[in-house]
Amino acid sequence: MATSLTHLNPFADAAPMHSPVAESLRKLKGIEGQTIRVSTYNTWKQLEEQIPAWETILRDNKSLSIFSTPEWLGSWWKAFGQNKQVMALALSNQDDSLVGLVPCYLEERKSPFLGKLAWLRFVGDGSGDSDNLDLIIRPGFERECAQALMRWLKDHQDWDICSLNTMPDNSKAAAALIEELKRANWTLVAEDSPCSAIQLPSSWPLYLESLSPAFRPLVTRYPRKLAQRYQVMIHRCDNPDVLSKRLEILFSLHEKRWNLVNQPGSFGSRERREFYRSMGESFLRKGWLEFWLMELSGAPAATQYCFRYRDTVYILQEGFDPRFAADKAGYALRGDMLKHFIETGVKRYDFLGGFAPHKQNWGAKPGVYLNLSFARPGSSGSVYLSCTNSLAQSKEWLRGKLPAPAWNFLHWVKLKTGGQAEAAAI
């Protein structure tokens, strides 16, 4: 959920001057005088023609994450793209070289008071699986690409709201886009959402020293206890022939964990299972997949589905068998993985969205993603954003003023009267 919500006044600064976005904006160095040509792709097959140039941008722009790769986004589109319309923009310079890519899709959603609205969103957004999405821009072209994007959005009327979510808060592309939105007086709502990651030290002993004395034994003693009680085997999936079987183990363990609290878990979705299979195959071919399984005396006990890109490992999903909860099998597996990652040069272990206490125990520090929603001034999208932002601010005011029972009752009334969307948004 958001940690802050701000309706940006078009006459105010684009961001507080102490923020990472503002800092990135001060450091932007555009290529003055460049004319950027915009090409539109309406199918994923068309967009795939740009993969070689796309990968060149990824090599040049070290700030882009694995979530901007064709492997991630292509797998996501294959699984979740039904009933959605690709609307991807390729941005080229005077030499006809690709300098930017904005992979989006168009989707109609019902509004409580304005009827259907067409939303333009990042490919990868909307299913709850992607983080760190961004405009895919060659370094130095952020300002010119933001200007070209704004011109294209102004000239095309088949969208109402553009919603670009989970952008890194220090994204130079986001900083440039905010500046252009402010200059054009467009309606813009910015929202922060939490994330967290561990900055890994150079050695395993240094990492252990960084943990609290109360938590450290879970990482050091429990693996020894496991070895005394069971035959412990830890496998890293590096063979495509076993990937499907390992995924079924992940799906099963994850489901068992969530069934304890009467929840179905994430993998009741056929689309998500398909996504993990397709993405896992692609990542395995690239050498990016970090899919680990712990077996205790032959029984699958815990698993983590991660991937490595450059010097970062991202933890996407995990599961464990509740029968081994007292043995802390999940703790032992994560500890073994972190030790391996540190020894092989990984600098960052990224928990992605959220900042729960258990992540903090492992040494994670909080961060934020930047969610931007904007619309042309005077449009129905602008009216919608203005109204929902005002309602959200009222919600926060009421949450702070009302006693908890009164707030819970108000939320219950919203749900019972068919206001699920409103209850979540206001």
Over the stretch 171-226, which tens digit does the pLDDT of each residue have? 999 999 999 999 999 999 999 999 999 999 999 999 999 999 999 988 998 889 99
Percent of the chain residues past pLDDT 70, beyond the cut: 82
Residue type, 364: A
Percent of the chain residues past pLDDT 90, beyond the cut: 73
In contact, 201 and 96? CB cutoff 8 Å: no
Q: Are strands 98-102 and 299-309 parallel, antiparallel or unpaired?
A: unpaired
In contact, 140 and 36? CB cutoff 8 Å: no
Distance between alpha carbon 48 and the CA centroid of its chain, in Å? 22
Residue 403, pLDDT score: 62
Give all domains of the chain, ordered by start, each with its CATH number: 4-193+368-382 (3.40.630), 201-346 (3.40.630.30)
Residue 335, pLDDT score: 96
Q: Exposed (0-12), middle (13-18) or buried (19+): which is 380, by Cβ within 10 Å?
A: middle
**Secondary structure class of 353 (helix, strand, coil):** strand
Residue 222, pLDDT score: 86
Residue 111, pLDDT score: 76
In contact, 108 and 118? CB cutoff 8 Å: yes
Residue 340 makes CB contacts below 8 A (sequence gap 6+) with none
Q: Are strands 88-92 and 37-41 parallel, antiparallel or unpaired?
A: antiparallel
Is residue 351 scored above 60 in pLDDT? Answer: yes
Per DSSP, 64 falls in state -
Mean pLDDT of 40-44: 95
337-345 long-range contacts (CB < 8 A, ≥24 apart) are 337/290, 337/292, 337/304, 337/306, 338/198, 338/200, 338/204, 338/207, 338/362, 339/204, 339/207, 341/200, 341/290, 341/308, 341/313, 342/200, 342/201, 342/202, 342/203, 342/204, 342/207, 343/204, 345/311
Residue 8, pLDDT score: 41
Between the alpha carbon of residue 325 and those of residues 46, 214, 234, 283, 301, the distances in Å are 48, 19, 17, 30, 9
Is residue 67 scored above 70 in pLDDT? Answer: yes
pLDDT band at residue 257 using 50, 70 and 90 as cut-offs: confident
Is residue 1 scored above 70 in pLDDT? Answer: no
User: How does DSSP assign 314-328, residue by residue?
Assistant: EEEEEEE-GGGGGGT
* pLDDT digit string, tens, across residues 73-125: 999 999 999 989 999 999 999 889 999 999 999 999 887 777 899 999 999 99
Mean pLDDT of 62-68: 97
**What's the rounded Cα separation, in Å, for the pair 354 and 346?**
21
Q: Are strands 161-168 and 115-122 parallel, antiparallel or unpaired?
A: parallel
Residue 387, pLDDT score: 86
Length of the chain: 426
User: How does DSSP assign 269-302, residue by residue?
Assistant: -HHHHHHHHHHHHHHHHHT-EEEEEEEETTEEEE
Per DSSP, 126 falls in state S
**What's the rounded Cα separation, in Å, for the pair 55 and 41?**
17
Residue 104, pLDDT score: 97
Residue 401, pLDDT score: 47
User: What mean pLDDT, rounded, does the chain reach?
Assistant: 86
Backbone phi, psi, residue 166, to 5°: 55, 40
pLDDT band at residue 423 using 50, 70 and 90 as cut-offs: very low
**What's the rounded Cα separation, in Å, for the pair 145 and 136?**
10
Residue 266, pLDDT score: 83
As given in the structure block, the two tokens for residue 32 are: 């003055």
Residue type, 93: N
Residue type, 104: C
* pLDDT digit string, tens, across residues 379-401: 999 999 988 866 555 454 445 54
Residue 214, pLDDT score: 93
Q: Beta-carbon neighbour count of residue 420 at 10 Å?
A: 11
In contact, 385 and 161? CB cutoff 8 Å: yes
The CA-based angle 191-192-193, given to 5 degrees, is: 120
Q: Pick the residue with more confidence: 411 or 315? A: 315
Is residue 373 scored above 70 in pLDDT? Answer: yes
Is residue 5 scored above 70 in pLDDT? Answer: no
Is residue 420 scored above 50 in pLDDT? Answer: no
Mean pLDDT of 1-22: 38
Mean pLDDT of 50-68: 97
Residue 9, pLDDT score: 36
Mean pLDDT of 297-318: 96
Q: Are strands 348-353 and 312-320 parallel, antiparallel or unpaired?
A: parallel
**What's the rounded Cα separation, in Å, for the pair 2 and 171?**
18
